[in-house]
Amino acid sequence: MSAREAKNGFGLLIDTARAEPVRIEKHGRGVVVVLSVEEYERLSARSKTESGSRVPVVQGDNIED
């Protein structure tokens, strides 16, 4: 999915990412992957070797650490 498609169809992006990871491309190059919370937590549990690392959580216009 292009960044423009993700921006213009954010609801679709969320719905799709709940079923499977979605790769977002900008200028034909992959830049991010959006995935469900469940998949993120599953992957995080597997990589407990990185103690203390956290991913910022975006809620509305705020970013929380």
Please answer whether residues 21 and 35 qualify as being in contact, where contact means their C-beta atoms are separated by less than 8 angstroms.
yes
**What's the whole-model pTM score?**
0.69
DSSP 20-39: S-EEEEETTEEEEEE--HHH
Model confidence pLDDT, tens digit, residues 10-60: 999 999 999 999 999 999 999 999 999 999 999 998 887 566 666 666 767
Q: Cα 48 vs. chain centroid, distance in angstroms?
A: 19
41, amino acid identity: E
The predicted structure's pLDDT at residue 1: 94
The predicted structure's pLDDT at residue 46: 84
- Domains recognised in the chain with CATH numbers: 1-46 (3.40.1620.10)
The predicted structure's pLDDT at residue 65: 47
Which uninterrupted H or E stretch holds 6?
helix 3-8
